[in-house]
Amino acid sequence: MNIAVVGTGYVGLVSGTCFAESGNEVICVDINRERIAQLNQGLSPIYEPGLEELIRRNLKEGRLSFTTELAPAVAQSMVSFIAVGTPESPGGGADLSQVFAVAEQIARAAVGYHIIAIKSTVPVGTNDRVVEIVGANGGGRIDVCSVPEFLKEGSAIEDFMRPDRVVIGSTSEKATAILREIHAAFVRTDNPVLVMHPRSAELTKYASNAMLALRISFINQMANLCEAVGAEINDVRRGMGSDRRIGSQFLFPGVGYGGSCFPKDVQALIRSAADHCLDFSILRAADEVNDAQKRILVDRARQHFGGDLRGRVFALWGLAFKPRTDDMREAPALTVIDELLAAGAQIQAHDPEALKTARALFGDRISYHETNYAALRGADALMILTEWNEFRHPNFQRIKAELKNPVIFDGRNLYDPALMQALEIKYYSIGRRPV
């Protein structure tokens, strides 16, 4: 099938490439000429394991192409997926200007029967508004559907190719049948294709991310309580997670969630509820907990160093909001770096993939190091903010040799406190007794 994907950000690029990999002919559209030129050379502008290899293969085999020209791409396609950004607006809601602008362009360019499938994360009621825009621009034979994405950065290819579920928000039997066919290759193991009203599909995406954010904030508050009363969060977490009604997913304490989805989607759902005169207080609390959690390591550093961090040098391991990505949007590292710099500290940072991203954000205010051990040299302490695999089993003798003081502030609970005690390393983690 001929498919257009408008937007080559994270969602659009992964979606378009995976649709091509399953045999469709896909044209990805973006207004960023530099990005399109890069993609046409087989180079991915984002880091996602396995993505660049798939882009190159499908370019070579002629199933995938990239362009800045929307109208021709839409004219030769039956389905156009909208995958443009919906950033947080000043009021906390989602900025839908790009979605509406693209919908208008598609309506004017479509030839014959056409499906607009909204894959961008949008608040409830967006589909209705797009239907109005399409109707006002001559789109008489266009069905508008909502097909939200459920991709995790770092495992997006696997998530797309083997989804837990596919959600299709549609009121058209014809559009539903076509969208089922497009997704059939990804649900051969009988994972469900859930067809529902577009408003329900829009809310399903937000509800899923909000529930995961709630779990993270809950376990972080439990970790703080564990420290206060002398309990161990890992024991509590395992005790909770063994209950089949609860499960163990997203119950790992840390320095808070970040990324392009959870913070923005939580705020958008709060705003959507407020628009309907509902106070989503549980989500507001989760957001407040997460904001405070991002500052917890800096607070512990202040306590450890007697309240004054001026002139102290901190090695930071991990800048991306999670491993296997270079994405620093809303990452805890942003808050930690700002807090440390404001306190007069110096920062020596390392991340396997996000150094280029960090340089664009912080310039020469911090120093950047290609290896994790280089970042340690002459530092007063190590802070760990992202759980990259290469940080899990380091050479502790080398850590002790490089640091001025053997002190680790671990925001991801990577190490065994008993081992830290045996190695005579001062160790602060989340929800566990300090060493």
Chain region(s) in the chain for CATH 1.10.1040.10: 206-292
Return the biggest CA–CA distance within the chain.
Answer: 73
Which of residues 88 and 210 earns the better pLDDT score? 210
Report pLDDT for 209.
Answer: 95
Would you state the structure tokens that stand for residue 391, as one six-digit string? 């940080």
Would you state the structure tokens that stand for residue 234, as one six-digit string? 């890992």
Measured from the Cβ of residue 272, the count of other Cβ atoms closer than 10 Å reads 20
Report pLDDT for 390.
Answer: 96
Nearest-CA neighbor of 102 among 75, 123, 71? 71
Report pLDDT for 133.
Answer: 96
Mean local confidence (pLDDT), 122-148: 94
Report pLDDT for 4.
Answer: 98
Which residues are catalytic, by number? 261
Report pLDDT for 90.
Answer: 86
Buried b (16+ CB within 10 A) or exposed e, 234-267: bebbeebbeeeeeeeeebbbbbbbbbbbbbbbbb
Q: C-alpha distances in angstroms, 248 versus 82, 252, 360? A: 34, 8, 36
Q: What pLDDT, in 10s, does the model give residues 70-97? A: 999 999 999 999 999 999 888 888 899 9
Chain region(s) in the chain for CATH 3.40.50.720: 2-196, 294-428
Residue 58 pLDDT greater than 90, yes or no: yes
Report pLDDT for 189.
Answer: 82
Three-class SS of residue 430?
coil
Report pLDDT for 88.
Answer: 87
With pLDDT > 70 as the criterion, what percentage of the chain qualifies?
100
Report pLDDT for 92.
Answer: 81
CATH code for the part of the protein at 294-428: 3.40.50.720
Residue 54 pLDDT greater than 90, yes or no: yes
Cα separation, 324 vs 195, whole angstroms: 32
Report pLDDT for 130.
Answer: 97
In CATH, which superfamily holds the domain spanning 206-292?
A: N-(1-d-carboxylethyl)-l-norvaline Dehydrogenase; domain 2 (1.10.1040.10)
What are φ and ψ of residue 53, in 5° steps? Answer: -60, -45
Mean local confidence (pLDDT), 42-59: 96
Cα separation, 146 vs 183, whole angstroms: 14
* Phi-psi sector, 229: left (phi>0), alpha (psi -120 to 50), beta: alpha
Cα separation, 105 vs 119, whole angstroms: 16
Per the document, the length of the chain is 435
Q: What angle do CA 387, 317, 152 make, to 5 degrees?
A: 35
Class of domain 2-196: alpha beta
Report pLDDT for 382.
Answer: 98
Contacts of 396 (CB under 8 A, 6+ apart): 419, 423, 425
Report pLDDT for 64.
Answer: 98
- pTM (2 decimals)? 0.91
Mean local confidence (pLDDT), 14-40: 97
Confidence of residue 140 (pLDDT cuts 50, 70, 90): confident
Cα separation, 428 vs 434, whole angstroms: 5
Q: What pLDDT, in 10s, does the model give residues 233-272? A: 999 999 999 999 999 999 999 999 999 889 999 999 999 9
| C-beta of residue 254 within 8 angstroms of C-beta of residue 222 | no
Mean local confidence (pLDDT), 166-194: 95
Confidence of residue 25 (pLDDT cuts 50, 70, 90): very high
CA 16 to chain centroid: 18
Residue 404 pLDDT greater than 80, yes or no: yes
Report pLDDT for 138.
Answer: 84
Report pLDDT for 38.
Answer: 97
Mean pLDDT of the chain: 96
Q: What pLDDT, in 10s, does the model give residues 306-346? A: 999 999 999 999 999 999 999 999 999 999 999 999 999 99
